[in-house]
Amino acid sequence: MNRVHQVVLVFSTIYGSWLGMQDVHELGHVAAAWLTGGRVSKVVLYPLTISRTGLAEDPRPLVVVWGGPIVGSALPLAVWLAARAIRLRGDFVLRFFAGFCLIANGAYIGFTHVGDAQVMLTHGAEHWHLWLFGAITVPAGLWLWNGLGPHFGFGKADGAVSRDVAYVTFACCVALFAMGFAFGGRD
């Protein structure tokens, strides 16, 4: 029976991290737009598409585009550190999420030339800015993941995981999925 709980925990953590990463990334774009006097026309968080933020007015496009990966990397890290500080049970899931966000944002910005990275380059960012962001965030995310295997039932844990953490993580994943369907603004 342990393997069922393990599968629930692993699947929920990975898919929930994907959905949550898109949410905090777009939150960064929205916050940067509002702070710079921009006007958001649409945010797409539909769980079966890639997220995006559309702007009706964008007076500071470079600030707004950097807001996504910066907030999308820093906010999950801050949440995990807070959870760790208060010794929240299951904080390893938030550690995984923080690592996931660092890796996803870093790889997207540092090693591609599509989407946000293309916008950055178009509006004056240098290639080395993007590479440096990726060179810092991807290894940091991998470092956060290091040693998490036993919490997810791998290695010596032999499938044993916290059932409570598995199902709280599953509930969070389902909530993110449902909110994406309900409020995700699909095109």
Q: pLDDT tens, 54-68? A: 999 999 999 999 999
DSSP collapsed to 3 states, the chain: CHHHHHHHHHHHHHHHHHHHHHHHHHHHHHHHHHHCCCEEEEEECCCCCCCEEEEEECCCHHHHHHHHHHHHHHHHHHHHHHHHHCCCCCHHHHHHHHHHHHHHHHHHHHCCCCCHHHHHHHCCCCHHHHHHHHHHHHHHHHHHHCCCHHHHCCHHHCCCCCHHHHHHHHHHHHHHHHHHHHHCCCC
**Predicted local distance difference test score (pLDDT) of residue 112:** 87
Q: pLDDT tens, 89-116? A: 999 999 999 999 999 999 999 998 899 9
Residue spans per domain, the chain: 2-183
Q: How sure is the predictor about 187, in pLDDT bands with cuts at 50, 70 and 90?
A: low
Check pLDDT > 90 for residue 183. Answer: no
